[in-house]
Amino acid sequence: MSLDAQILTALRAAGEGSVSGAELSQQLGVSRAAVWARIEDLRSLGYEIEASPHLGYRFLSAPDVLHADDLLSRLGRTQVIGRDIQVFESTTSTNDVVEKLARDGVKEGVVVFAESQTRGRGRLGRKWTSPAGKGLWFSVLLRPGLRPQALTQVTVASATALRRAIESLTGLKPEIKWPNDILVGGKKAAGILTELSAELDRVKYAILGIGVDVNLTVGDFPADLRRIATSLKAEAGRALPRAELAVLILQELDADYARVLGGGFAEVADEWEAHCTTIGRQLSIRTGDRLVQGRAESLSEDGALLLRTEHGHLERIVAGDVSFEK
């Protein structure tokens, strides 16, 4: 952890109380002058830290920016996800940045955020709107050692984790639309894009890209999305702290990733089904150039959607676009 992250962790741990410069300097093994210089730097980034000659330093508030040291300090210890966090002001797509890291052999668990993306993407090269400072646009590098077909489990687990994190921060009741949408009030508020590099029977790496519309206003969405997309702020009626949500999502992702790798997918699937608007509905799914119609019955053991067609066959669908018939 960097010095800034350690200072923020120590100040947060003191809660309403203060920590003296001497304590910090001893705890971190640097001079008091170095501590002071780091605190000044954090203040210039927008952190409100009170300094009193007698009591020391007291944490008051953090700015609504994503700052890697701050995210690491809040996240605490996780098993895999968030071992390292990087934040970019702007990038083409955070999935591109993580792909480069993956090719360079970086270990799984690194998370890359961007305040804005110039070429954020959805599935099949669709565009993902990612305005600056309003959402969470990030990607996670995973090396799950699963068969490529089983990677849907990771997408399913990400959706359950994302749903729980949003619910716990906002009190909203997000729903999951197979395979990768999080809806609030019937409109899309978050999406997941899983990209992978695989050999025949093994995933080399997977990149989990997550976009959450946190504090966007109607005007931040292009006109053609206003009918189908929404933000957590619009639904909750108040602006939400992005860093806090980011940390909650990473903690929940870490927990669900461990559940999947530990053979607990059935449990994840149950939770997913309990919150999924797709199960039980009559649907059309476009998958490649095929249109399949039927009733969504459940998830298979490896995360595919099982669809009962009008002829009574059970079809296993691993990817596609859903539209509801009734």
Report the C-alpha gap between 13 and 100 in whole angstroms. Answer: 35
Tell whether residue 160 is a contact of ligand BT5 (CB under 6 A): no
Pick 4 or 181: Cβ nearer ligand BT5 = 181
Name which position in 73, 117, 152, 153 contacts ligand BT5 (CB under 6 A): 117
Pick 139 or 152: Cβ nearer ligand BT5 = 139
Q: Please report how close the Cβ of residue 186 comes to ligand BT5 at its closest, in angstroms.
A: 13
Distances (CA, A) of 189 to 19, 176, 186, 228, 266: 40, 10, 9, 9, 26
Pick 97 or 279: Cβ nearer ligand BT5 = 97
Tell whether residue 260 is a contact of ligand BT5 (CB under 6 A): no
Strand partners, 114: 88, 137
Close Cβ partners of 119 (under 8 Å, ≥ 6 residues apart): 92, 93, 127
Strand partners, 203: 198
In whole angstroms, what separates CA 78 from the centre of its chain?
15
Contact 287, 255 (CB under 8 A): no
Tell whether residue 93 is a contact of ligand BT5 (CB under 6 A): yes
Other residues' Cβ atoms within 10 Å of the Cβ of residue 48: 12
Pick 123 or 308: Cβ nearer ligand BT5 = 123
Q: Please report how close the Cβ of residue 167 comes to ligand BT5 at its closest, in angstroms.
A: 18
Strand partners, 299: 305
Q: Which stretch binds ligand BT5 (CB under 6 A): 55-63, 91-99, 145-153, 297-305?
A: 91-99
Tell whether residue 319 is a contact of ligand BT5 (CB under 6 A): no
The three-state DSSP-derived secondary structure of 217-285 is CHHHCCHHHCCCECCHHHHHCCCCCHHHHHHHHHHHHHHHHHHHHCCCHHHHHHHHHHCECCCCCEEEE
What would the x/- binding string for ligand BT5 be over residues 175 to 194, using CB under 6 A? -----xx------x--xxx-
| Residues 203-242, interacting with ligand BT5 (CB under 6 A) | 209-211, 213, 225, 229
Pick 129 or 170: Cβ nearer ligand BT5 = 129
Report the C-alpha gap between 238 and 36 in whole angstroms. Answer: 35
Tell whether residue 174 is a contact of ligand BT5 (CB under 6 A): no
Nearest of 247, 273, 297 to residue 78 by alpha carbon: 247
Pick 139 or 251: Cβ nearer ligand BT5 = 139
User: If you ran DSSP here, which 8-state letter would residue 7 be given?
Assistant: H
Dig out the tokens for 65 from the structure.
Answer: 């920016």
Name which position in 47, 57, 88, 128 contacts ligand BT5 (CB under 6 A): 128
Q: Please report how close the Cβ of residue 230 comes to ligand BT5 at its closest, in angstroms.
A: 8
Q: Which stretch binds ligand BT5 (CB under 6 A): 116-124, 151-159, 281-289, 298-306?
A: 116-124
Kindly list the residues in this chain that would bind ligand BT5 in the complex (CB under 6 A): 93-95, 117, 120-123, 126-130, 137-139, 180-181, 188, 191-193, 209-211, 213, 225, 229
